[in-house]
C-alpha cells in the first residue's frame, strides 16, 4: 500500500485510535490534516507524523460540534493540498445517560459529535472525494450488549451502522466508497473518561480481557492498520461494509 501524495483528514487525531491512524498514514507518505481538541497531544502526534516522512501536517485544534468547524477543516485542507482523497471520521465520545435523567443533554451531546459531525463532514468532502474517487472510513464501536447508562450510545452506534450502509450505497455511483471499522475494547484513554486512574488501568484491562474470547485487549495500532487497509485501493468493491475487530466478543 502506498499513500504517497494522498490527502487524508483524520478527526479525533489527538489520542487513541485517531493518533495511531495518523501516524500510520504518515509512515505511508500521506499528507495529513489532523483535528483534535487536546492541544498538547495533538502537537505531539503532528511531530511524530512529520518525523515519519518529512511531511508537516495541518493541525487544527477544533471542537467539531461548533458552527463552521467542519467547514473550516475541509476549506483549509483543500486550500493547502488542492485535493482530498480520504476522510477518517474517528472523533467521538461516550456519555452515560439514561431515560431516568430528566434532560436531553447526554443524548444531544453524543448526537452532535458522534453522528452529526461525520454526516456533515461527509457532505462537505463529497465533491472533492468524487473528483479523486476517494473514500470515507467511519470509526465507531463494535456491537455490544446494552447496559444501563449506554442506551444513547447504543442508539447512535446503530445509526452510524445504517449511515455507513446506506451512505455507501448512495455515493457508490460517483465512485466514492464508505466503510466502517468497528473496534471492540481497545487500549485508549476511554476508561479515563470514567475516572479510572492510570495506576489501576492495567488491572481493569486484565479483567475486561477475560470476557473477550481471544483474551486480548486490542491495541490502537491494530485498528489503524485495518483503517489503512480499508482506505486503500486493494479491495475496490469493499463498500458499505461494517468491519468488526473485537476478538469475537460481540458473538460470545
Per-residue pLDDT reduced to its tens digit, 209-248: 556 667 677 899 999 999 999 999 999 999 999 999 988 7
Tell me the residue range of the domain where 70 lies. 7-190+219-251
Please tell me the pTM assigned to this model: 0.92
The pLDDT assigned to 127 comes to 98
Task: For residue 181, tell me if it sits in a domain.
Answer: yes
CATH code, domain carrying 11: 3.40.50.720
Residue 195 lies in a domain: no
Ranking 72-76, 132-136, 147-151 by mean pLDDT, the lowest is 147-151
- Confirm whether 201 is domain-assigned: no
Contact indicator for 35, 71 with CB cutoff of 8 Å? no
Residue 80 maps to a domain: yes
pLDDT at residue 145 greater than cutoff 90: no
pLDDT at 205: 59
Spatial distance between the Cα atoms of 126 and 141, rounded to a whole number of angstroms = 24
Residue 229 lies in a domain: yes
Contacts (Cβ under 8 Å, ≥6 apart) of 207: none
pLDDT at 129 over 70: yes
Please check whether residue 198 lies inside any domain of the structure.
no
Number of domains within the chain: 1
Tens of pLDDT, residues 55-109: 999 999 999 999 999 999 999 999 999 999 999 999 998 888 888 888 898 899 9
With respect to residue 98, please indicate whether it lies within any of the assigned structural domains: yes
* Any domain includes 1: no
Amino acid at each position: 500500500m502506498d499513500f504517497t501524495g494522498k490527502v487524508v483528514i483524520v478527526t479525533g487525531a489527538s489520542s487513541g485510535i485517531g493518533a495511531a491512524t495518523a501516524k500510520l498514514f504518515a509512515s505511508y507518505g500521506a499528507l495529513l490534516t489532523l483535528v483534535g481538541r487536546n492541544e498538547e497531544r495533538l502537537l505531539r502526534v503532528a511531530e511524530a507524523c512529520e518525523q515519519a516522512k518529512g511531511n508537516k501536517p495541518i493541525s487544527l485544534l477544533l471542537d467539531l460540534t461548533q458552527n463552521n468547524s467542519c467547514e473550516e477543516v475541509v476549506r483549509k485542507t483543500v486550500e493547502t493540498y488542492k485535493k482530498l482523497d480520504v476522510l477518517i471520521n474517528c472523533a467521538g465520545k461516550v456519555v452515560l445517560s439514561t431515560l431516568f435523567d430528566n434532560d436531553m443533554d447526554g443524548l444531544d451531546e453524543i448526537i452532535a459529535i458522534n453522528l452529526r459531525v461525520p454526516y456533515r463532514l461527509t457532505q462537505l468532502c463529497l465533491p472533492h472525494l468524487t473528483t479523486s474517487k476517494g473514500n470515507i472510513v467511519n470509526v465507531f464501536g463494535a456491537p455490544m450488549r446494552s447496559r444501563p447508562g449506554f442506551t444513547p450510545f447504543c442508539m447512535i452506534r446503530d445509526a452510524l451502522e445504517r449511515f455507513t450502509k446506506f451512505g455507501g450505497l448512495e455515493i457508490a455511483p460517483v465512485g466514492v466508497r464508505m466503510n466502517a471499522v468497528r473496534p471492540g475494547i481497545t487500549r485508549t484513554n476511554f476508561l479515563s473518561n470514567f475516572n479510572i486512574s492510570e495506576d489501576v488501568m492495567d488491572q481493569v484491562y486484565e479483567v475486561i480481557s477475560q470476557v473477550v474470547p481471544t483474551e486480548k485487549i486490542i491495541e490502537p495500532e491494530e485498528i489503524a492498520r485495518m483503517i489503512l487497509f480499508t482506505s486503500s485501493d486493494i479491495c475496490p468493491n469493499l463498500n458499505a461494509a461494517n468491519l468488526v475487530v473485537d476478538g469475537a466478543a460481540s458473538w460470545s
